[in-house]
Structure 1
Amino acid sequence: MIILSNIEKLRLTAEINDKVVDSSMLFDTKTKNAFKRLSKQIKEILLNEPKITSYGLNTLKNSLLTYWNESIKPDTEKFWTELKLNGIDFERKEPLKFALDKKRFRQVEQGIDARNHWIELKNQKEIQQRFSITEIQEIEDIISKDENSRIEILKKCLRKKEIPQSQYLKFGECMAYATNCRLWDKYFSQSEVEELYIIWKNFRSK
Structure 2
Amino acid sequence: MGLLNERLDIENKVNTIQASAAERPMLIIPYIAEINDRGLYKDAGYTSFYKYCAERLGVGETQVKNSNKVFRFYGKMSEIGEYYIPEEYIPFGIEKLNEITKIPDFNHDNPMDTIMQYGLTPETTMPEVKRIVAEAKGKNIKPDLKGIPAICEKLEIMDNTLRLIGIWGRNERISDKEFRRKAIETIEAIRNL
TM over 0.5: no
Larger Rg: 2
Structure-2-length-normalised TM-score: 0.29
Structure-1-length-normalised TM-score: 0.28
